[in-house]
Amino acid sequence: MTAGQIIIDTDPGQDDAVAILLALACPDALEVLGITCVAGNVPLELTTINARIICELADKGDVPVFAGCDRPLGRDLVTAEHVHGRSGLDGPTLPAPTMPLQDKHAVDFIIDTLRERPAKSVTLVPIGPLTNIATAFKNAPDIIEKVKEIVLMGGAHFAQGNVTPVAEFNIHVDPHAAEIVFGAGVPLVMMPLDVTHKALVTRARNAAIRAIGTPVGRAVAELTGFFERYNPDRYGEDGAPLHDPCTIAWLLKPDLFKGRRVNVVIETQSELTMGMTVTDWWGCTDRPPNATFIHDIDANGFFDLLIERLARL
């Protein structure tokens, strides 16, 4: 079987790091053409460092890493150091990267890659704000029809928001970029809070990751054990969500998930609801479906997959 070609667009972030590691652990199934970085959880300078740290942790220093947009489209950057720590990867002690950052801008890499490769051969996996993807689509609209699909982490419906009462962080940081991406007509799969809040790193699951016994296993245990991982007042039980790896797990084993085709529109006008993913769950409008909204997960199967694949690194 030919490995599926993907570009990971990211703002690492502990859960971004785990998603990258999961993808890099599966070269038989996924060929990571490059990692494009964007400002989000922490500023761009740190996300580019963190992405390279993770590649080197996986002994994959040949994966090219690109710096992208350092701010949202038309809004001030909102970051999340209060969640991820000042570095974005607080938890483990990992060495500074030695692999180089690529000279090309991330947006140019996305454009050039899609133009150079056969149509419908590359999947985009954005697990941070959508600024790089939207900018690529704006600068080179001819690439839109060449994208195989977009599998993103972002949004919410029944789960409401995690940075405002109604908005999920990635969409809220750059709602105007999300509006462009959701309106582009590309086949789109979204992993919203509705499903990621069911992928909880409990103490038992964290211990199972640590028991892998490798540097990667120990680092992931420390990454997923950091910050508000154990906050029953917020998440309802002894655990906290592992958001971003759900995108990679979908590409590896989609039967772990259940989804529904719906229409999603991004709120960009009201500061009260800025970044809300307005989801027509019940078909109340005549707007056609533009996204597969994933709403359920076999959490045990997900963590079994994660642990088995991470043990390969």
Q: pLDDT of the chain along its 313 residues, tens only?
A: 689 999 999 999 999 999 999 999 999 999 999 999 999 999 999 999 999 999 999 999 999 999 999 999 989 999 988 788 778 898 899 999 999 999 999 999 999 999 999 999 999 999 999 999 999 999 999 999 999 999 999 999 999 999 999 999 999 999 999 999 999 999 999 999 999 999 999 889 999 999 999 999 999 999 998 644 445 555 556 678 999 999 999 999 999 999 999 999 999 999 999 999 999 999 999 999 999 999 999 999 999 999 999 999 9
Catalytic residue among 84, 157, 172, 243: 243
Q: What phi and psi values does residue 262 have, to the nearest 5 degrees?
A: -145, 170
State the pLDDT at residue 227: 46
Please state, in angstroms and rounded to a whole number, the distance separating the CA atoms of residues 47 and 59: 18
Displacement of CA 84 from its chain's centroid (Å): 15
- Give the up-direction half-sphere exposure of residue 103: CA atoms within 13 A in the CB hemisphere: 0
Phi-psi region of 304 (alpha: psi -120 to 50; beta: other; left: phi over 0): alpha
161 is in which domain, residue-wise?
A: 4-310
Closest CA relative to residue 88, chosen from 36, 138, 136, 50: 50
| pTM as predicted | 0.97
176 is catalytic: no
**Residue 258 is encoded by which pair of tokens?**
């259940």
Exposure b/e, 142-176, CB count within 10 A at least 16 = b: ebeebbbbbbbbbbbbebebbbbebbbbbbbbbbb
State the pLDDT at residue 88: 84
Exposure b/e, 179-217, CB count within 10 A at least 16 = b: bbbbebebebbbbbbbbbbbbbbbeebbebbbebeeebb
Could you tell me the CATH number of the domain that includes residue 76? 3.90.245.10
Please state, in angstroms and rounded to a whole number, the distance separating the CA atoms of residues 31 and 5: 5
Domain count, the chain: 1
Q: Do 131 and 174 contact (CB within 8 A), yes or no? A: yes
